[in-house]
Structure 1
Amino acid sequence: MPGPNLAPPNGASALQIEVDVNLKAYNTFGLPAVARRLVRVREAADVRRVVDHPELGRAPKFVLGGGSNLVLTKDLDPLVLKVEITGIRLLETREDAWIVEVGAGERWHDVVAWTLDNGYPGLENLALIPGTAGAAPVQNIGAYGLEIKDRIESVAVMDLVTGRPALLPAEVCRFGYRDSVFKHSDFGGLADKSVITHVRLRLPRPWVPVLGYLELERRMLETGNTHPDARTIFDWICAIRRAKLPDPAVIGNAGSFFKNPVVTAEQCRDIISRDPGIVHYPMPDGSVKLAAGWMIDACGWKGKTVGGAAVYEKQALVLVNKGDARGAEVVTLARAIQESVYGRFGIRLEPEPVVL
C-alpha cells in the first residue's frame, strides 16, 4: 500500500514509502509476512536519501533482494529496503578477462544468460540459481564445481550509516562456503550495515570449462561430447536442475535448504564404515564434503510434511511450500530433519536460508 512521500531535507527526489506491504510475492518460499514500511531502491542514490532522511535514517533496516534465501516467520518491523537496481554492461575488456558490471536487482539467471548471449562465458555452471545478482556474493552462491567468489572482481556497496559508497575488492569480502562478510554483523562484518548496489564480475579469458562434477561427467559420457562449449554446459545444467529442483514460480521453495557439511577425512571414513553408500566429495585441502540431500533421504524424510511445509519428493535437500505453509512450519520441519540426521550420522546440518 503506498504511503506518504517523504522528501529529504537536501531537496533530493522524494522517497515513496509503502506501508503494510504483503511480502508473500517477494520471497520465493511464498511465505506470508508483512513489511510495516518498505522503500524500493532503484538507484544507489536512493540509499543516500534514506540515510539522510531525519526519520528513516535512524530506523532499523532490512535489505531485501529476490527473497530466494529467506524464511519469514513473522512480520518485519524494520524499514525494508527492496533492492531493484537494474542494468548489465561490459565495463572493461582486459587481456585476461572481461569485467561485467551488474545491478544488484537483476535476476541472477538473466545475468548468466546475458553474458553467454554477448560472448562472455564463465558463469554457465551457475545457471538457474534463484535470486538476484546482489544476493549472489552475500551467499557466495555455488553449483557444479564453481562458486561466485571465483568470478567476483569487486562489490559496490552503500554504507547505511554514512550513505557513502565503497568498492570492495573480492579479497576483502571474506568469501567462504555459502558465506561472506555480508552475512555477519560482528568482527567487521557488513550485515545490516551496507547495501550492495552493483557487482563486478571477472570472466577469465581464455575461457576454461569447469567440468569436474559427477553429473557433468555423466553427461559427457552419455553424449560423447568430451569438449562441451559454454552454451552446452549451460543447457546441461539447466536440464539437470529442472529435473530435480522445483521452479519457485510453481512450488514455493528457497533452493537447497541445508549446506553440504564438510568433515575431516577421518570423520568421513568413520561414516563410510557405517554407511558405505554415502555420497561424498574429497576437497583440495584434504577435507571431505558430504551430500546433505543423501543423508536426509537416508533418514526417510523425502515427501514428509509438517503442515503446509514438505520435503520435496524429487530432492530431499529442498523444502517446499505445498501452498499454505507458514514460516514456523518450515522451521519445525527443518529442525526435525537436523535432529534426525544428527542422530544417525553425528552431523549437524546448517541451514542455508536466513530465518527471520
Structure 2
Amino acid sequence: MVDKRNYCLLAHNTFGISARCNRFLEYESIAEAQAIAHILNISTEPLLLLGAGSNLLLKADFQGIVVHSAIKGIAATTNGDEVIVRCGSGELFDDVVSFCVKHGYHGAENLSLIPGEVGASAVQNIGAYGSEVKDIIDSVEAVNCNTGEVVTIACADCGYSYRNSKFKHEWKNHFLITHVSYRFSKIFQPHLDYGNIRLALAKNNIINPSAEELRQTIITIRREKLPDPKVLGNAGSFFMNPLVDKHFFKRLLALYPAMPFYKVEEAVYKIPAAWLIEQCGWKGRSLGPACVYEKQALVLVNLGGAKGSDIVALCNAIVNDVERKFGIVIHPEVNIV
C-alpha cells in the first residue's frame, strides 16, 4: 500500500495542474482497500477518490486525503455467446476495450479511446458515439468505507443515467471500487448511426466494418477532435450535452433551424453543447492561459502554466454566455474539486 504525505498530484490529472494533497493512499488489492477503509473511517479529513484524473479539475491544493486504486487484471469467463470480463479498477478502460476487441468480445467498440480507469467508468457512466458503459456493466465490486465489508453491486442498482450514478451522489465516498465486471457478446452488432461514424468509414471505403475497423475509426475520429493531454493539458469533453423538453426544443429550433439535435425519447431532446458554445463565439478563444480548443468547442485546454482557477473562470464565462443567448444552462462533465 502506498501512503505518502504532502503529495504532488501533477502526474494524476490530465489538465496538468500542479496541486498537492495532504495524504495520498493507493491500494493494489482488496485487503489493502479494506486497510484504507479503516484509515478513512477514523479520519475527519476531506476525501477525494481518484482515477486517472482524466475527468478532474483541481482548483487548488486538496486539503485532505486522496485515494487511488492500482488493482490490475483482466479475466474473461464465457457462457455460450455471452462473456463476462472482470477487470481491476486500476486498469485503463481503453486497455479493456482493446483486449475485448482482440478476443472477439463485442459491445464496447464505440467507447474506444475514452481516457480514464475502470473504476471511474462505473462512477461516471462514461459514454461516446451513442454508447454508455452502463449498457455493458454487469456488476461493481467494492469495499464499504464505513465497515470494510466487500460488496458486489448489480448494474441495475447503481442508478445509472446520463454521465451519472449513485456513486457520484448518495454513495459518494462510500465505496472503494476494486473490480468492475462487463458483459460482452461474441456476436458483433455494430452501432454506426451516431455522429459521423458512417462518413468516417465511407472515407476508407468501409461499408460493413469489422470490430477492429470500427474501433480504429472511433480512435481516428477522437484523435482528430481531441488534443493529446501530454501536449495540451485537458480533460476531454468539459461539458455535458444539455437535455431539453419538447416544447422548449421546438421554440429553439424555430429560432435556429440549423441547430443539430438528438431525440433521446418522446419528449426529451439532446442539444450538442459544442454547438451552443461555438455559436457564442468561444471556439478557439482564450481567457489568459486557459483556452477553448480550436478543433472542438467542448474541450478546454491548459495553454501552459494555468491554475485550476483559470480554467474555472473560462468555464463560468462560457456557461454565462450560453445561458444568456439560448436560455440553457450547461453543466461541467468534469469533476471540479
Please give the range of the TM-score, normalised by the shorter of the 2 chains: over 0.9
Map 1:325-344 to 2 at 5 A: 325-344=306-325
Consecutive unaligned residues of structure 2, counting only runs of 5 or more, are: none
Contact 2:290/2:303 (CA < 8 Å) preserved in 1? yes
State which drifts further: 77-86 or 21-30.
77-86
Runs of 4 or more consecutive aligned structure 1 residues displaced over 6 Å after TM superposition: none
Query: 1:106 and 2:87 equivalent?
Result: no
SS at match of 2:122: helix
Match of 2:6 in 1: 20
Aligned residue in 1 for 2:127: 142
Amino acid at match of 2:291: A
SS in structure 2 opposite 1:266? Answer: helix
The answer to whether the Cα contact below 8 Å between 1:50 and 1:57 also exists between their aligned partners in 2 is no
The answer to whether the Cα contact below 8 Å between 1:65 and 1:84 also exists between their aligned partners in 2 is no
Report the AA paired with residue 71 of structure 1.
Answer: L
1:216 aligns with 2:206: no
The aligned amino acid for 1:139 is: Q
The CA deviation at 1:59 is: 4.0
The whole-number CA distance in structure 2 between the counterparts of 1:269 and 1:224 is 37
Worse-superposed segment, 117-126 or 325-334: 117-126
Could you list the per-position Cα deviations for residues 109-168 of structure 1 after superposition, in whole angstroms to 9, with x for gaps in the alignment? Answer: 111111112221221100111111110011100001100000000011111111111110
Alpha-carbon displacement from aligned partner over 1:58-111 (angstroms, at most 9, x marks no partner): 343321110111110121122211211111111x21234100011111111111
Q: Distance in 1 between matches of 2:304 and 2:69?
A: 26
Residue from 177, 191, 195 that aligns with 1:196: 177
Q: Determine the C-alpha separation between the residues in 2 that align with 1:287 and 1:228.
A: 31
Of 102, 116, 119 in structure 2, the residue corresponding to residue 117 of structure 1 is: 102
Secondary structure of 2:63 counterpart: coil
- 174-183 or 196-205: which moved more? 196-205
CA-to-aligned-CA distance 1:167-189 (integer Å, 9 cap, x gap): 100000000000001100xxxx2
| TM-score for the superposition, normalised by structure 2 | 0.96
* TM superposition score normalised by structure 1: 0.91
Relative contact order higher in (CA < 8 Å, ≥ 6 apart): 2
Aligned identity (percent) is 40
Shift of residue 228, structure 1, vs aligned partner: 1.0
In structure 2, what is the Cα distance between the partners aligned to 1:321 and 1:219?
29
1:5 is matched with which residue? none
Q: Residue 62 of structure 2: SS of its match in structure 1?
A: coil
What code does the residue aligned with 1:246 have?
Answer: P
Q: Work out whether residues 18 and 39 of structure 1, in 8 Å CA contact, stay in contact via their aligned partners in 2.
A: yes
Could you tell me how far apart the structure 2 residues matched to 1:51 and 1:183 are? 18
Equivalence for 1:244:
225
Output one character per residue of 1:267-287: Cα deviation in whole Å (capped at 9) or x when no partner.
112111112221111123431
**By how many angstroms is 1:16 displaced?**
4.0
